[in-house]
């Protein structure tokens, strides 16, 4: 019988190993939660969920694990109107977030082309533009149906 553990999770644990970190029970539980969720979770939410898998988990360990996952580029902080302390699996390549205002579901999209706009703003302001943040908010199909 082969294990059905999602590959993202295994990849994250392997990356922790490779970087000299130990793979422990508490870390497994945190990774399992954050790697497989489609909504941004704050440290306490991660704690509540992960401790169902690893009951003696401490909140402090959640903070420390999130810190390491962020340093490894595996998760990233999501900025939202109601708070900026929730995390999601990091974008792969050049992607931006689309967030559902109803259920909090998050998806990445790619294919934005802002070169034109950026060129125009650069010319107008004299700035050399190096980065951009783009985030879309709306209602997913499920929430659209629910709210009519």
Residues forming contacts to its own copies in the complex (CB under 8 A) are 79, 84, 98, 100-101, 107, 109, 111-113, 117-118, 120-122, 124-141, 144
Q: Which two tokens stand for residue 122?
A: 């650069």
The span from the CA of 146 to the CA of 144, in Å, is 5
Give the x/- contact pattern for DNA in 84-103, rule: CB under 7 A: -x------------------
Select 25 or 146, whichever has its Cβ closest to its own copies. 146
Name the residue with tokens 């149906």: 145
Compute the Cα dihedral for 109, 140, 45, 11 and give only its sign: negative
Note whether 78 binds DNA by CB under 7 A.
no
Residues 1-40 that bind DNA (CB under 7 A): 17, 20-27
CA 58 to chain centre: 21
Note whether 112 binds Mn ion by CB under 5 A.
yes
Interface stretch with Mn ion, choices 6-14, 34-42, 52-60, 107-115 (CB under 5 A): 107-115
Residues 92-131 that bind Zn ion (CB under 5 A): 100, 102-103, 105
Q: What is the enclosing helix (H) or strand (E) of 96?
A: strand 96-100
DSSP-assigned letter for residue 20: T
Cβ at position 131, least distance to Mn ion in Å: 9
Selection from Mn ion, its own copies, Zn ion, none that 11 binds (CB < 5 to 8 A by kind) is none
Interface stretch with DNA, choices 62-70, 94-102, 114-122, 139-147 (CB under 7 A): 62-70
Provide the pairing of β-strand 75-80 with 96-100: unpaired
Q: What is the DSSP string of 70-88?
A: HHTTSEEEEEETTEEEEEE
């Amino acid at each position: 019988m082969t294990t059905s553990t999602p590959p993202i999770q295994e990849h994250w644990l392997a990356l922790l190993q490779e970087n000299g970190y130990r793979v422990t029970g508490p870390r497994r539980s945190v990774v399992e939660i954050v790697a497989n969720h489609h909504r941004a979770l704050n440290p306490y939410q991660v704690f509540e969920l992960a401790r169902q898998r690893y009951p003696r988990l401490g909140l402090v360990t959640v903070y420390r694990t999130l810190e390491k996952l962020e340093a490894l580029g595996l998760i990233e902080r999501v900025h939202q109107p109601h708070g900026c302390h929730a995390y999601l699996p990091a974008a792969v390549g050049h992607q931006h977030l689309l967030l559902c205002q109803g259920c909090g579901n998050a998806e990445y999209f790619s294919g934005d082309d802002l070169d034109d706009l950026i060129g125009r703003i650069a010319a107008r302001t004299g700035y050399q533009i190096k980065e951009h943040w783009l985030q879309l908010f709306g209602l997913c199909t499920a929430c659209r149906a629910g709210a009519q």
